[in-house]
Amino acid sequence: MEFEIWWLLGIPVFFGLGWIAARVDINQLISESRSLPRGYFKGLNFLLNEQPDKAIDAFIEIVKLDPETAELHFALGNLFRRRGETERAIRVHQNLLARPDLAQEHRLHAQYELGQDYLKAGLLDRAEESFHLLAGSQYGAQAGRALLEIYQREKEWLRAIEAAQTLQQSGAGGRQKEIAQFYCELAQDELVDGHPEQAMSLLEKALGNDRNSVRATMLLGDVHLAQGDVEAALHAWRRVEQQSVLHVALVAQRLMDGYRAVGRPHEGVNLLRSYLAEASSIDLLEVVFKAVLELDGVEATNQLVGDELRRTPTLLGLDKLLEARLMKVAPEMHSELSVVKNLVHGYTQKLARYQCSHCGFKARQFYWQCPGCSRWETYPPRRTEELNVMN
């Protein structure tokens, strides 16, 4: 390519055009910033310094001077809601919606924020009504997620299934695991009410959405047991190991009781010992401990717990070892060892917790839905101390 002299002449021209454009942008920015009320910057400064109360006072003054500013109403309403003053937040967003000249974009935004106000205030029926008005709008997906939350709070599982399916079809992400859990909730209710056939149908739908649903498989075994078919129940519970070996601890007592019921307790304890060798668990050890003590005696129990403690050293395991040792210790040593056992046991009770992997909420019992953050399947089926040892 040959060099042309006019290229050199073009350089200052382009430079000059860029300088003019920059000056125009800067002048426009300065002009717009001067047109903003001083209270706006004052309120913004309070927000940056984490002083929401003073920020609210500053924004209230601006709204009084310029009631037409929708953006400031939204900021004010959100601040009220975050501070827990839901009644004031509701009034702010209701006043916005009452304005006949409000642009459609702002009207939809106000409707969504009003729904969030009602949700925060616990007025679920009003929140549901607000979110339904947003169907098909740009806030449709957010409103759908809020409706799903409402239906779960109210335990309206059929409506939760419908809301989750709608969200899934809209491209807002897969909801198969949640839908399976909703069917499990319905099945559990039917089982409690003495309707195993209906429960079976619901569990088939749960597994149709999530074939690896451990909860659905466990409940399937419970349904077979309610119908008097212990062998079918055992077959279902054994499938848990194929889905998640860690969750076997949750079904261990069911398995042991089932094998006792069909007259094959040694087969049951051997199966559970094989699970324990594959995936150590203090809850599984508890079930095996009692079964071995019943079937094979104190010596076998001591051997079991000693081997398990060497493999996975935990205070929870030590507690079980001391319990086993107390059964065979000499009478003169029983009193002293009991003191040690009680001290260790008292401390291990603080460690014997399940912990949500999302919000960290701890609980004595295992939950499929976290009581803290309401998320599904966030509890690992192991106690906190075991998780710490593994990490």
Which residues carry a binding-site annotation for Fe cation? 356, 359, 370, 373
Burial class (CB in 10 A: 0-12, 13-18, 19+), 6: exposed
Q: Bridge-partner residues for 355, per DSSP? A: 362
- DSSP conformation letters of 101-114: T--HHHHHHHHHHH
CA–CA distance, 141 with 352 (Å, rounded to integer): 40
- Amino acid identity of residue 10, one-letter, is G
* Residue 289 CB partners (closer than 8 Å, separation 6+): 301, 304, 305, 320, 323, 324
CA–CA distance, 302 with 264 (Å, rounded to integer): 23
- Both structure tokens of 189: 């209710």
- Both structure tokens of 135: 């169907």
- DSSP conformation letters of 107-176: HHHHHHHHHHHHHHHT-HHHHHHHHHTTTTSTTHHHHHHHHHHHHHHTT-HHHHHHHHHHHHHTTS---H
Is the CB of residue 166 less than 8 Å from the CB of residue 159?
A: no
Q: How many CB atoms sit inside 10 A of residue 177's CB?
A: 15
Round to the nearest angstrom and report the end-to-end CA distance of the chain: 63
Element containing residue 200 per DSSP (H, E): helix 196-209
